[in-house]
Amino acid sequence: MLEDERESQNIEDRRGMSGGRMAIGGGGCFTLVIALVIFIAGGNPLRYLQQQAQQDGVQVGQNQPIQTNPQEEKEKSYMQRVLATTEDAWGAILPKQAGRKYTDPVLVLYRNSTPTACGTGESGMGPFYCPGDQKLYLDMAFFDELKNEFKAPGDFAKAYVVAHEVGHHVQNLLGTMDKVQALQQRVGEVQSNQLSVRLELQADCYAGVWANYVQKNNKGIEISNIQEALRAAQAVGDDMIQRRTQGYVVPESFTHGSAKDRMTWFTNGYKTGDIRQCNTFGR
């Protein structure tokens, strides 16, 4: 799939870099909190990380020879092609539908951990977007987890993961993330979680808008590919993960949305292709 697509050059390969770290007040306790918050794939609980990034400095690891295998290099190439489709899609969609120019984010590939403008990125966090440096962070080992743990295999499931994080980049460009963060600082934990859910569901909807564009522009996308994305969205629903990891569901603690809601909003974006139909905050 996407075999004829160009490969984006907006990629930074840090797989040969030893893990950087932030000098973070609170040490391991902070890391555990972050890991819990963004345990769910495609997470973006960066309001916590941003606050630390304003105070702490980044230590960058040293480069080492990159040890790869053919399968990983194939996945890297595919990620570059997926990223290229997001650049084409949002470069056309954002000016037309929002009157805003789209600037391309950078996709960072890393292993284990890496420094970011939002704090230390760790593979246990899953893929995430940092608004501080406008970069997407991905440890490709996550795809094995997506396939084996979340039971959501397929190339388009991987593409959905990238498109969701690009959706956060769109939110950042539109100022949505700043508004949500400001609101979260004025409300309690339950209300803050609800705002986080709405932010994540909107990113799912934006991923659907991207899928609509890709399919309409003859990129070889079929209904089976969309079903792969839907399975991935379902698998990373808060309720699915809570049920699997703790045996029961606590809706008040959701930060990303239920499986049903994540599929619904992706589908909404996919069917309409219209970011104006992604107002998760108005429903």
For 41, the domain range is 11-282
The predicted-structure confidence for 160-180, as pLDDT tens digits, reads as follows 999 999 999 999 999 999 999
| Residue 219 covered by a domain | yes
| Dihedral sign from CA coordinates of 269, 275, 280, 282 | negative
Helices (H), 99-152: 142-148
Residue 33: other Cβ atoms inside 10 A: 13
Q: 190: burial class by Cβ within 10 Å (0-12, 13-18, 19+)?
A: exposed
Q: How confident is the model at residue 67 (pLDDT cuts 50, 70, 90)?
A: low
Q: Determine the pLDDT at residue 237.
A: 80
| Residue 224 covered by a domain | yes
- Does residue 61 have a pLDDT over 90? no
The proportion of the chain whose per-residue pLDDT surpasses 90, expressed as a percent, equals: 53
Would you call 248 helix, strand, or coil by DSSP?
coil
Q: Determine the pLDDT at residue 52.
A: 45
| Residue 240 covered by a domain | yes
| Residue 220 covered by a domain | yes
| Residue 2 covered by a domain | no
Q: Determine the pLDDT at residue 29.
A: 36
CA distance 281 to 234: 21
Q: Determine the pLDDT at residue 44.
A: 47
Average pLDDT of the residues in 261-278: 96
| Residue 100 covered by a domain | yes
The mean pLDDT value of the chain amounts to 83
**Listed residue (279, 217, 221) closest to 93, CA to CA:** 217
β-bridge partners, 11? 107
| Residue 3 covered by a domain | no
Average pLDDT of the residues in 268-272: 96
- The count of structural domains within the chain is 1
**Listed residue (1, 163, 167) closest to 78, CA to CA:** 1
pTM confidence score: 0.82
| Residue 4 covered by a domain | no
